[in-house]
Amino acid sequence: MLIDDHDVSLFITQHILQKLNYEGQTILMPSGFSALNYFNENIDDSDKLPDLILLDIQMPLVDGWDFLNQFQKIKNIINKKTHIFVLSGQDNSIKCNELKSMNLIDGHFIKPFQIANMKSILETINKL
């Protein structure tokens, strides 16, 4: 699942996945709000829930931090391990390290997102 309010970022990230021959389904969400709705609508069907979320932090209304706060409340109900990587235009290392220590995210990257970042993510989740 790609959660980002910028169409260009969604397009670039999706293009990177295609370049790496990623064969999984990609779910595009334009906001944290729409992603939370998707989870709430599919909470009982783990086949529809993503294994991986790439989450933009800076979005209007429900930003990435808000999404993570709400996701933390439902993650134990979900019958699936979901890996979350934060994407940000700014260095949020301190906050992201806190979230990583709480086992809420698996890592973070500063935009612009690169092919090497996606390779690293895919290698990480294949090892877990």
Predicted confidence pLDDT, tens digits, the chain (128 residues): 999 999 998 999 999 998 998 888 899 999 999 999 999 999 999 899 999 999 998 888 888 889 999 999 888 888 788 999 998 877 777 777 777 877 888 988 888 888 998 998 988 888 65
Contact 85, 55 (CB under 8 A): yes
Between the alpha carbon of residue 23 and those of residues 20, 45, 56, 89, 127, the distances in Å are: 9, 21, 22, 27, 18
Contact 84, 106 (CB under 8 A): yes
Residue with tokens 């009982």: 44
Neighbours of 115 (CB within 10 A): 12
Q: Output the furthest CA–CA distance in the chain (Å, rounded).
A: 35
CATH of 2-127, one of 3.40.50.720, 1.10.760.10, 3.40.50.2300, 1.10.1740.10: 3.40.50.2300
Residue spans per domain, the chain: 2-127
